[in-house]
Amino acid sequence: MNKILYPKKEDWAKILERPVNKGEDLEKVCQAVFDEVARDGDEALKKYTWYFDRVKMADFEVTNEEFEVADREVAADLKEAIGLAKENIERFHEVQLSGINEYVNANGFRCWQEARAIECVGLYVPGGSAPLFSTVLMLAIPARIAGCREVVICTPPGEDGRVNPVILWTARLCGVSRVYKVGGIQAIAALTLGTGTIPRVDKIFGPGNRFVTAAKQMVGRYGVAIDMPAGPSELMIVADGTACPRFVAADLLSQAEHGPDSQVVLVTCVERLVEEVERELREQLDRLPRKSIAEMALKCSKYVVLNSREECVEMANLYAPEHLMLCVEDYMAWVPRIRNAGSVFLGNYSTESAGDYASGTNHTLPTNGYARAYSGVGVDSFMKKISFQEIRPEGLAYLGKTIEIMADNENLTAHGNAVRVRVESL
């Protein structure tokens, strides 16, 4: 990791730049796939599944027999662990359900808002080198709590044309029975446009690589929504002299192993901590099965030493990390000052891995600085709010003149007249 000591503030933005993937015109590639899926449907999915994944597929939908095989293949201790995680995730998300918000005016009118579930949602679950069955929990559970009528999953097939059995077992545990063996750009295109096999959805959720992220950013052109731009994983750790170097190194590596385009950053005002963490990191890195992946991510990662804790907070808010760990003594005093972050982990024992799996918070979070404007996935992500109003005659008499004056001054005479004819009838 690169070490940067006491940089000037005008250099911070440059220091905090995310890794940039060069060489591919991702939008052009995505558009070509979308156009072909729109024209050829399932045949285009077969073509691109072979082209990108080198897997020949005859049928995309997972059969009941495949679910049954998956149930037999998943180990009992893993089932128990997923069950415990599911319980915590459910409880955290259940408390997010909102009721009716109502404003009543004594002059004869009221307005209120009610939540409704999005009808049909598509969940993208990465496969690749690390099949993320935990993402099934993070997306399917709030979708069910919200009350979505139709929930479908797309996930890449393995070389044998099958879906990882743990993904299938977890999907069934969460009440999702429609799973499709397709990934990448073509999966996002299928969920956006619909094919003979895969339905068109109203909103697409889930993380993915740069291709999936680029494809998700296109779907708004076709009238489909997305959860957020969620690309390569990232972690910033702010640490003081009370931080445990061994813990810090372990957390940095936990995110670096996600992929070569992940980024991790340690920010501190204790210079000696950097050397201690670096020693631990080198030792732990050598023991990782995904060492080569983590090493590539670490090339774009940084240690930054600043002058004060105030500067550490300022840099954290500027970076707006997907995951922010506060490994500091008085972490609760820092909380009110954190303005931009996807999910925050407080103290030396709040490892980011807990949020990834089992503590209850959602791990589908905004990356690449989007935490300045986006929230992580929650129950609200699977719902929309509809406003209602009831205006009684006395209410319209009270509001009428106000509406007429405003409408007339915007030169929208018919708006004012719609009120006027009613008031005259009273």
Q: Do 223 and 241 belong to one domain?
A: no
Cα–Cα nearest to 264, from 310, 232, 231: 232
Known binding-site residue numbers for NAD(+): 124, 186, 209
Q: Do 38 and 157 belong to one domain?
A: yes
Average pLDDT over residues 3-9: 96
Contact 338, 317 (CB under 8 A): yes
Q: Does residue 383 fall inside a structural domain?
A: no
Cα–Cα nearest to 339, from 376, 309, 372: 372
The single residue of 93, 234, 280, 323 carrying the catalytic annotation is 323
Contact 276, 247 (CB under 8 A): no
Contact 351, 401 (CB under 8 A): no
Q: Does residue 121 fall inside a structural domain?
A: yes
Q: Do 236 and 223 belong to one domain?
A: no
Cα–Cα nearest to 322, from 408, 253, 231, 251: 231
Q: Do 34 and 175 belong to one domain?
A: yes
Q: Do 256 and 175 belong to one domain?
A: no
Q: Report residue 62's pLDDT band, with 50, 70 and 90 as the boundaries.
A: very high
Q: Phi and psi at residue 116, in whole multiples of 5°? A: -130, 140
Q: Do 242 and 300 belong to one domain?
A: yes
The single residue of 234, 257, 322, 404 carrying the catalytic annotation is 322
Q: Do 275 and 296 belong to one domain?
A: yes
Q: How many domains does the chain fold into?
A: 3
Here the CATH number for the domain that contains residue 172 is 3.40.50.1980
Amino acid residing at 134? S
Q: Does residue 263 fall inside a structural domain?
A: yes
What is the DSSP secondary structure assignment for residue 368, as one 8-state letter?
T
Q: Do 219 and 236 belong to one domain?
A: no
pTM of the model: 0.93
Indicate left, alpha or beta for 175 from its phi (over 0: left) and psi (-120 to 50: alpha).
Answer: left
Domain limits for position 410: 392-425
Within its chain, how far is the Cα of 137 from the centroid?
13
Inform me whether the pLDDT recorded for 302 exceeds 80. Answer: yes
pLDDT of residue 21: 61
- pLDDT, tens only, 321-377: 999 999 999 999 999 999 999 999 999 999 999 999 999 999 999 999 999 999 999
Q: Does residue 379 fall inside a structural domain?
A: no
Domain's final residue, options 170, 194, 227: 227
pLDDT of residue 131: 82
Domain's final residue, options 173, 193, 227: 227
Provide the pairing of β-strand 101-105 with 109-117: antiparallel
Q: Do 70 and 124 belong to one domain?
A: yes
Is residue 323 annotated as a catalytic residue, yes or no? yes
- pLDDT, tens only, 107-127: 999 999 999 999 999 999 998
Q: Does residue 86 fall inside a structural domain?
A: yes
Q: How far is residue 6's CA from residue 4's CA, in Å, rounded to a whole number? A: 7
What is the DSSP secondary structure assignment for residue 382, as one 8-state letter?
G
Domain's final residue, options 227, 260, 294: 227
Q: Does residue 381 fall inside a structural domain?
A: no
Q: Does residue 19 fall inside a structural domain?
A: no
Q: Do 184 and 295 belong to one domain?
A: no
Known binding-site residue numbers for substrate: 233, 255, 258, 323, 356, 410, 415
Q: Do 184 and 317 belong to one domain?
A: no
Known binding-site residue numbers: 124, 186, 209, 233, 255, 258, 323, 356, 410, 415
Q: Do 188 and 271 belong to one domain?
A: no
- Considering just the CA atoms, what is the radius of gyration of the chain in Å? 25
Q: How far is residue 298's CA from residue 310's CA, in Å, rounded to a whole number? A: 26
- Token readout for 145 is 């709590």
Q: Does residue 410 fall inside a structural domain?
A: yes
